[in-house]
Amino acid sequence: MAIATTEQFWNHRLNGEDPTSPTGENNTAFSATGSGASEVDKYWVVTDARYNVTPTTNAYTLFTVLQYTGTPNDDEVLMSLDNGTKKVDVKAFGTKIKLVGATTVTSIDLDPLMAEENPVPLALRLTLDASGNAILYLREMIEDDDAQTVYLSVAGASGSSRNIAWGNNSGNIKWASVYATDMGAFSPLELAPSDLATDTLLRMGLSIVENLRNSRRAHLKTHLDAGSIRYGYDISQEMLSRSIPPFIHVLLRGLGSPTFAALGGGRIDQEYDVLIYVTTRGTTYEDAYRLGLNIVGECFDELYTTTGLNGTTDSLFEYDLELQSRMDDEVTICTHLLTLTYMRRLNMRHR
């Protein structure tokens, strides 16, 4: 999949209210089977009820944050996706979780009872793509500190009819939030639970990284690999000292909304500053300077021609370029800074 566009969003959003009567706009209700459920302290507490909706597409994402207060029976189906061709289930298994498709994989102990000291809430994201490949992300993690993947994945089993479903018929589960979309199979880096996080980090920060990684321009594709173009979560001196130039860091400095484009704030114009740091090293500082300028120039050319092209909803309207000259004999690395300012018109009714 790719980063969600502004037309792709969670079209089912629950935060502890009745799934058959959700609040907010662009928010579709679930159908219910069973009546063992009620709202308690901002959670939807289920002992014997299931909820489903019938989508019209064939790729889905189902996200939830939950807590056991009574452990459900082993092999109790908690989450299920079926695109009519392939199907996948998430099943309870003591303090673990099983992902069941054509094969079965089991998670580590996840402490769904939150019984450990300093417990971490359990977030589960289940995706099923059009080809029948399923992934279960645990606590929104993709890789651990050793860059090893930590999600579970299987090929789907044979499906029967399109369905997005969740709930439980045993145990006692506090469903804090349940979000679902039939607009695609999205990873945590493609559609965040928060609309603000999606609009900023994903659609602006990570999408700029993706654009530069996909560029066909000379320096961007020959001097930098995908790992050398990344979002600047950590640009501390210690982190930079472990990196080998050339490399590019993209980050957002801030955002704001100078105007609301509709009464009541249904649509707003939001401005973003995107900072692109290009760091190079050469045989001489002149070499590093010129290489960096070529790379930052290609960044500008690529983004100028591929982003911010729709003047009514998505515009690139300002830029600033800071070129670093050598002022100290000890300096051997050159860093140029390109700042791009975007304005986007956003629909705020997907929250």
Same domain for 273 and 236, yes or no, is yes
How many percent of the chain have pLDDT more than 90?
72
DSSP string over 33-78: EEEEEEEETTEEEEEEEEEEE--SSS-EEEEEEEEEEEPPPTT-EE
Question: What's the pLDDT score for residue 71?
Answer: 97
Both tokens of 95, joined, read: 């303090």
Question: What's the pLDDT score for residue 256?
Answer: 75
User: Does 297 score more than 90 pLDDT?
Assistant: yes
Q: Nearest 5 degrees, angle CA 234-CA 235-CA 236?
A: 95
User: Does 83 score more than 60 pLDDT?
Assistant: yes
Same domain for 263 and 306, yes or no, is yes
Same domain for 175 and 46, yes or no, is yes
> In the chain, where does DSSP find H-type helix?
195-197, 207-213, 218-222, 237-241, 285-306
User: What is the Cα–Cα distance from 62 to 124, expressed in whole angstroms?
Assistant: 8
Average pLDDT for 36-56: 97
Is residue 189 included in any domain, yes or no? no
Same domain for 108 and 173, yes or no, is yes
Question: What's the pLDDT score for residue 332?
Answer: 78
Same domain for 27 and 171, yes or no, is yes
Question: What's the pLDDT score for residue 311?
Answer: 59
Question: What's the pLDDT score for residue 345?
Answer: 76
Of 114, 148, 181, which residue is a domain's last? 181
Q: Which of 59, 91, 58 is nearest to 168 (CA)?
A: 91
Of 156, 181, 206, which residue is a domain's last? 181
Number of domains in the chain: 2
Question: What's the pLDDT score for residue 266?
Answer: 66
**CB-side neighbour CA atoms (13 Å) of 317:** 13
Q: How confident is the model at residue 249 (pLDDT cuts 50, 70, 90)?
A: very high
- Give the CATH number, domain containing residue 299: 3.30.2000.10
- Other beta carbons within 10 Å of 203: 22
Question: What's the pLDDT score for residue 236?
Answer: 81
User: Does 327 score more than 80 pLDDT?
Assistant: no
Q: How confident is the model at residue 260 (pLDDT cuts 50, 70, 90)?
A: low
Q: Which residue has better confidence, 57 or 257?
A: 57
Same domain for 150 and 210, yes or no, is no
Cα dihedral 232, 237, 242, 246 sign? positive
User: Does 261 score more than 60 pLDDT?
Assistant: no
Is residue 186 included in any domain, yes or no? no
Question: At residue 175, what are phi and psi to the nearest 5 degrees?
Answer: -90, 105
Question: What's the pLDDT score for residue 330?
Answer: 64
- Give the CATH number, domain containing residue 36: 2.60.120.200
What is the model's pTM?
A: 0.89
Q: Where are the beta strands (DSSP E) in the chain?
A: 12-14, 31-40, 43-53, 60-70, 77-82, 86-93, 96-100, 104-106, 122-128, 133-138, 152-155, 157-158, 163-168, 172-181, 229-231, 247-260, 267-281, 309-310, 314-322, 333-347
Which residues sit opposite 346 in a β-bridge? 268
Same domain for 288 and 175, yes or no, is no
Is residue 1 included in any domain, yes or no? no
Average pLDDT for 43-65: 97
Question: What's the pLDDT score for residue 271?
Answer: 84
Q: How confident is the model at residue 24 (pLDDT cuts 50, 70, 90)?
A: confident
Question: What's the pLDDT score for residue 17?
Answer: 96
User: What is the Cα–Cα distance from 194 to 199, expressed in whole angstroms?
Assistant: 9
Residue 40 belongs to domain spanning: 12-181
Average pLDDT for 201-218: 93
Is residue 320 included in any domain, yes or no? yes
User: Does 35 score more than 80 pLDDT?
Assistant: yes
Q: Which residue has better confidence, 166 or 147?
A: 166
Q: Which residue has better confidence, 257 or 196?
A: 196
Is residue 2 included in any domain, yes or no? no
SS3 332: coil
